[in-house]
Homo-oligomer: A and B are copies of this chain.
């Protein structure tokens, strides 16, 4: 079987497993670095491999606009275009399109929008985004969904669930490529009843995996944790569960504890570009004056290349001098740290140390 989650251990809702994909095995829980336009900002493909990254995320919306689906197809698909042999999950573009707000219009058959690049008009339908993702050869494709910013009116959330289910049905009907696993996306805001309706309707379609969408869009952290937890419990045990848009240490710990397996976020790389370090002792801002003469390593508990090779003073100097090596070294470190967190979480779940592990990290996160 080319796509399957093998659960190897559980502690409460938390689980450790192996996701079999056409481009290799992905150990879960896993954080997927974001390569929006077929490149993870600050980290080259060979370094991602060296870091042990087994899956990354790219965005259909961005690739559709540039370089275009047809160019990627002619190159032999996204893996070959960007020289990445491991797994790729592509977002449907739903989230990006709905972020355009005034520049998009939804109807029952899809969404018409204007490009953020040049204002040109385009249309996504449930069918077209599945076809795009199959064409570029994604290992995991996402359905087109309707994502609503929070707080939202009940009728907006209900409408988003109605359309998301309708589009999910059409997505399932149109899929062709056996090598691409299509995930459904549960919507419903913070309302458990709506989340349950959305989850039930999608589970009836028997997707090979499910995502929780519509979170990290304006709610509080506690609201997000509660909704992620209750929604995860509505999804099939044996299938992978993906919480979209989550990437801080604390959010990841809570989401793993809630029974989620896959995560993505620009947070570690965006922080890396802006001088914000994620460390075992909390987050640090490298523009802080104290670091200009701090000759200790960035994170004394980290054994990444950045921490074992360079000092805080040198990193601080690079950021102050706007040298691109700064963003590179810090993005490297942040992704290494989040990756290590995932790897250690797996070990902790398997060793029945999960609760201690989570408590220890949470003390600083």
Give residues in A with beta carbon < 8 Å to B: 37-39, 41-42, 44-46, 62, 66-67, 71, 74-75, 81-83, 292-293, 295, 305, 309-311, 313-314, 317-318, 320-321, 323-325, 327-329
Contact = CB atoms under 8 A, between A and B. Distances in A.
A313 B81 contact: yes
Contact of A83 (B46, B66, B75, B310): B310
B293 A71 contact: yes
A303 to B, nearest CB: 15
Contacts of A66: 317, 320-321
Contacts of A320: 66-67
The dominant DSSP class at the A interface is: helix
Contacts of A305: 46
A74 B292 CA distance: 11
Contact of A314 (B75, B292, B311): B75
A45 B305 CA distance: 11
Contacts of A311: 75, 81
Given A71-B293, A293-B74, A321-B66, A314 B38 contact: yes
A186 to B, nearest CB: 31
A62 to B, nearest CB: 8
A321 B37 contact: yes
9 contacts: A39-B323, A44-B328, A45-B309, A66-B317, A67-B317, A75-B314, A82-B314, A83-B309, A324-B328
A324 B323 CA distance: 12
Nearest to A322: B37
A75 to B, nearest CB: 6
A47 B88 CA distance: 26
Contacts of A317: 37-38, 66-67, 71, 81
A307 to B, nearest CB: 12
Contacts of A81: 311, 313-314, 317
B67 A292 contact: yes
A321 B61 CA distance: 13
Given A74-B295, A292-B67, A39 B325 contact: yes
A328 B293 CA distance: 28
Given A46-B305, A327-B324, A67 B37 contact: no
A105 to B, nearest CB: 26
Contacts of A75: 295, 311, 313-314
A134 to B, nearest CB: 21
A58 to B, nearest CB: 12
Contacts of A309: 45-46, 83
4 closest Cβ pairs, A-B complex: A39-B325, A39-B323, A67-B317, A37-B321
